[in-house]
């Protein structure tokens, strides 16, 4: 099999600014590693503030023409991007696996998911509408005119190197905005490849700019302080989100914040256990558990606790761990050493407080950032992993005896991104839906991400929605005109 890096030529491992692929101003570069081996797979340009501002120049210059481009034309360019990603799915997937560590099957899933944002927003681009109505008191008319907000700054995480950028870039372009994306330093290659694909698809220069850097703080704060920037969309940790919200406040920027989660997955005694097990496996293990909507806490009602736990542990124990590009691997490498250490400490903390390990629980020797699928039971409420994002293949199981009890526990967190409920009782499910403090809820389903659905959290999990019709509204301002008409 050929080297996955072949798809991204050396000249495209540089900054994408305007119509150029260029080195960072000082010529600096940084190394990107394969997390499964620690091997350096590429050097990419390491932008400084001056490069970030050059990208903003390009995005600002391209703004008026892009906003005036007919929606149908913008839509066609998004469709062309969707097609190119779909046709080149295998190449993109292998690149994602190489730089991020997830197994190839997961990476293929991410490409399909990411590509769908381009298809969905190609369809939305031509359906942006205003209103015209008579003022209630009569005498004049009210006209609303949606307009693109302006140049947008995007900051994305490493866990979905394609999809987290796609779900910002696609709606922004559909709305008529230009963009600057700063991908995570650990996974910059996929975003550069996307920029290349969009260039080939015919997206005009300056509309999609990509700035790779190890100096995120400096570069992003300079962009946010510049009055030409009109919007920040961030996906990442709540901690960094708070910092960026403060910076965005100085320039009164529109913001979309997709932050951390602490999803509770609740299995009721009346659930179809086969469905609940399938759902729990997906909700826990999709993307190796390195997902903001991963089931972080699994609550099982006492009468089915034993059976569910035994069957879940068996399935977790049967998963194979290895390099994501190898055949038959279910669980690839975690992103870095810090992640493995954090997970190891969370497991040790739970065990110290009385939890029992049923499966896994010990990091393997050798190179690469691996951690085995792990199931813990008797996890006490004060275990740190019930509040921290585990972000890995570790599943704590906790039993419950009443809906009031489990809802109180599920809501006892600063986060409010996703939740999951398994029950055959419709009324019970709806009561959970009304009482759980989350932006998203899977009912008898472990997979909830869908470009046609509004993705986003409440509480400290974020502000705003991505995907769905709501997704494009994040990139539109509304000007209202009062028209005198007695
Ligand atoms: P992170 O540490 O917050 O980093 C996210 C991005 O922010 C990266 O591009 C990072 O750059 C950049 N960054 C870090 N510090 C910054 C600063 N001071 N100023 C400007 N940019 C800064 O998060 P992560 O570890 O990459 O991703 C995992 C987190 O993302 C989890 O909390 C997860 O729940 C969350 N997430 C949320 C969603 C959602 O939709 N709600 C989806 C996916 C992930 P560097 O790479 O250079 O550090």
pLDDT, one tens digit per residue, over 303-346 is: 999 999 999 999 999 999 999 999 999 999 999 999 999 999 99
Catalytic annotation on 258? Answer: yes
The overall average pLDDT reported for the chain is 97
Query: Both tokens of residue 161?
Result: 């190197």
Q: Count CB atoms within 10 A of the CB of residue 115.
A: 25
* Ligand 1 lined by 235 (C-beta under 6 Å): yes
Which residue's CA is minimally distant from atom 26 of ligand 1? Answer: 157
Domains of the chain: residue spans and CATH: 10-259+461-481 (3.40.605.10), 263-443 (3.40.309.10)
Q: Which residue out of 106, 110, 258, 389 is catalytically annotated?
A: 258
Which residue's CA is minimally distant from atom 10 of ligand 1? Answer: 184
Residue 184 Cα to ligand 1 midpoint, Å, equals 7
DSSP of 125-156: HTT----EEE-TTSSEEEEEEEEE---EEEE-
* Ligand 1 lined by 448 (C-beta under 6 Å): no
Atom of ligand 1 nearest to the CA of 257: 41
pLDDT tens, residue by residue, 191-250: 999 999 999 999 999 999 999 999 999 999 999 999 999 999 999 999 999 999 999 999
Atom of ligand 1 nearest to the CA of 157: 26
Q: Are 415 and 393 in contact (CB under 8 A)?
A: no
pLDDT tens, residue by residue, 105-135: 999 999 999 999 999 999 999 999 999 999 9
* Ligand 1 lined by 358 (C-beta under 6 Å): no
Q: Are 191 and 166 in contact (CB under 8 A)?
A: no
Q: Is the pTM of this model over 0.95?
A: yes
Residue 167 Cα to ligand 1 midpoint, Å, equals 15
**Cα(86)–Cα(96) distance, rounded to whole angstroms?**
14
**Cα(96)–Cα(116) distance, rounded to whole angstroms?**
17
Bridge partners, 442 (sequence order): 420
* Ligand 1 lined by 155 (C-beta under 6 Å): yes
Q: What is the mean pLDDT of residues 247-274?
A: 98
Residue 367: pLDDT band with limits 50, 70, 90: confident
């Amino acid at each position: 099999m050929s080297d996955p890096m072949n798809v991204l030529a050396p000249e495209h491992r540089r900054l994408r600014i305007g119509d150029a692929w260029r080195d960072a101003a000082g010529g600096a570069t940084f190394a990107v590693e394969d997390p499964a081996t620690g091997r350096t797979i590429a050097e990419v340009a390491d932008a400084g503030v001056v490069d970030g501002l050059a990208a903003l120049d390009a995005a600002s210059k391209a703004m008026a023409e892009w906003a005036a481009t007919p929606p149908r034309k913008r839509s066609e360019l998004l469709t062309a991007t969707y097609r190119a990603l779909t046709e080149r799915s295998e190449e993109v997937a292998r690149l994602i696996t190489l730089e991020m560590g997830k197994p190839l099957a997961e990476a293929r899933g991410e490409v399909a998911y990411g590509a769908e944002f381009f298809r969905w927003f190609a369809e939305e681009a031509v359906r942006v509408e205003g209103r015209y109505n008579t003022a209630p008191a009569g005498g004049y008319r009210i006209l609303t005119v949606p307009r693109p907000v302006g140049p947008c700054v995007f900051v994305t995480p490493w866990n979905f190197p394609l999809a987290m950028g796609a779900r910002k870039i696609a709606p922004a372009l559909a709305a008529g905005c230009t963009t600057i994306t700063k991908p995570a330093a650990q996974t910059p290659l996929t975003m550069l490849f996307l920029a290349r694909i969009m260039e080939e698809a015919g997206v005009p220069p300056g509309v999609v700019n990509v700035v790779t850097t190890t100096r995120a703080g400096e570069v992003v704060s300079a962009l946010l302080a510049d009055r030409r920037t009109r919007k920040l969309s961030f996906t990442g940790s709540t901690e960094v989100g708070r910092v960026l919200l403060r910076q965005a406040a100085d320039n009164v920027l529109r913001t979309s914040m997709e932050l951390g989660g602490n999803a509770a997955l609740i299995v009721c005694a009346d659930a179809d256990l086969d469905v609940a097990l399938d759902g729990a496996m997906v909700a826990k293990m999709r993307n190796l558990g390195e997902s903001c909507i991963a089931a972080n806490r699994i609550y099982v009602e006492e009468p089915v606790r034993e059976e569910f736990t035994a069957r879940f542990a068996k399935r977790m124990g049967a998963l194979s761990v290895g390099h994501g590009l190898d055949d038959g691997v279910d669980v690839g490498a975690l992103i870095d050493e810090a992640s493995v250490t954090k997970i190891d400490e969370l497991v040790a903390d739970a065990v110290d407080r009385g939890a029992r390990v049923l499966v896994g629980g010990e990091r393997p020797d050798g190179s690469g950032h691996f951690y085995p699928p792990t199931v813990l039971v008797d996890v006490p409420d004060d275990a740190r992993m019930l509040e921290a994002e585990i972000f890995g293949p570790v599943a704590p199981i906790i039993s419950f005896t009443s809906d009031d009890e489990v809802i109180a526990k599920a809501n006892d967190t600063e986060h409010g991104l996703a939740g999951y409920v398994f029950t055959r009782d419709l009324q019970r499910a709806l009561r959970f839906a009304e009482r759980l403090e989350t932006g998203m809820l899977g009912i008898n389903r472990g997979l909830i991400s869908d470009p046609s659905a509004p993705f986003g959290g409440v509480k400290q999990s974020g502000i705003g929605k991505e995907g769905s019709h709501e997704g494009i509204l994040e990139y539109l301002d509304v000007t209202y005109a009062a028209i005198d008409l007695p």
